[in-house]
Structure 1
């Protein structure tokens, strides 16, 4: 372990990430600057492997890359959770708004239904009144027609009676002459000039 640089230290990434830690330092600046790891030759399993400082540096580089990858993944997870929460809140707000609109439309529809029922009731009353008025109008027309017929009959009778009276008592009729004679013969009557 003496091959590990003394500047190395272990720090926790985040409190919610448990015991995951990164060993800072230890990787060669050249390897980190290039952003790649040098691959070692695969050892033969029959031969004992001698660990060199290069092995430790590669292991530390791998640990550091894994820690950075975990950090990126945790950050991405946090972003996705925040995005999901935001979308969920917006969707919930949209659902609440849609439900409020549905309630408003239902109230409006109920109001229209009540208004429609009231108008239908008024229309039925007006139709009954119109039918009653039409019935009364027909009765009045029938009465007027009957009155006109009676008036025509009475006028005909009156004209006929007038003609008969004129012919019976008018000038030149027998009754008229008889009346004139009777008036002349009455005691104390003055002689009227003869017509």
Structure 2
């Protein structure tokens, strides 16, 4: 893992020469110390102290790098978590919007179905009434035709009974003449 450091004194740690790598240090070489016999008393030299201090310094710097990396990862996790939470909230809001829209459409569909059923009932009633009106109209037309036939027949009888050239017409002419002369 490579981290970017905000401090310039961080870099690759070298155990040789104690501390950050330097151009003068022999790269890729570790100085091996002879393993002391545990039964023999060890005499510590300034070099041992220097190596121990160098190791402690390297460990401290490594811990600092690890802490910084941990902080970066925690911040990254927090950022991703916040974005994910925002995305979840936005998705939930959209789901609620779609649910409201669907409920509105469902209510509207139910209302339209109710209105359609009412319109169908009205249409059926109108058809029934139309059939009744047609039957009445047909009945009225038959009655009118019968009445017209009777009327024509009566007219013909009146004309034949009282029309010109009939005996009743002549009698009426005589009666009108008598009444005007008297």
Provide the residue aligned with 1:45 in structure 2. 37
Structure with higher RCO (Cα < 8 A, 6+ apart):
2
Per-residue Cα deviation, 1:107-166 (whole angstroms, up to 9, x for no partner): 222222222222222222222122211211111111111111111121122212222332
Provide the residue aligned with 2:6 in structure 1. none
Provide the residue aligned with 2:81 in structure 1. 88
Per-residue Cα deviation, 1:64-97 (whole angstroms, up to 9, x for no partner): 2221111111100011111111221222222222
Aligned residues: 162
Provide the residue aligned with 1:177 in structure 2. 167
Which range is displaced more, 123-132 or 75-84? 123-132
Map 1:133-148 to 2 at 5 A. 133-148=126-141
Provide the residue aligned with 2:11 in structure 1. none
Provide the residue aligned with 1:61 in structure 2. 54
Provide the residue aligned with 2:152 in structure 1. 159
Provide the residue aligned with 1:132 in structure 2. 125
Query: TM-score with structure 1 length normalisation?
Result: 0.67
Could you tell me which runs of 5 or more consecutive residues in structure 1 were left unpaired when the two chains were aligned: 1-26
Query: TM-score with structure 2 length normalisation?
Result: 0.71
Could you tell me which runs of 5 or more consecutive residues in structure 2 were left unpaired when the two chains were aligned: 1-15
Q: In the superposition, relative to structure 1, how do residues 187 and 32 fare at CA in structure 2: closer, same or farther (>3 Å)?
A: closer
Q: In the superposition, relative to structure 1, how do residues 132 and 186 fare at CA in structure 2: closer, same or farther (>3 Å)?
A: closer
Helix, strand or coil for the counterpart of 1:43?
coil
CA distance in 2, matches of 1:32, 1:181: 159
- Rg: which structure is higher? 1
Helix, strand or coil for the counterpart of 1:51?
coil
Helix, strand or coil for the counterpart of 2:72?
helix
CA distance in 2, matches of 1:87, 1:47: 57
Deviation at 1:177, TM superposition (A): 2.6
Q: Which residue of the other structure, out of 93, 100, 103, is the alignment partner of 1:107?
A: 100
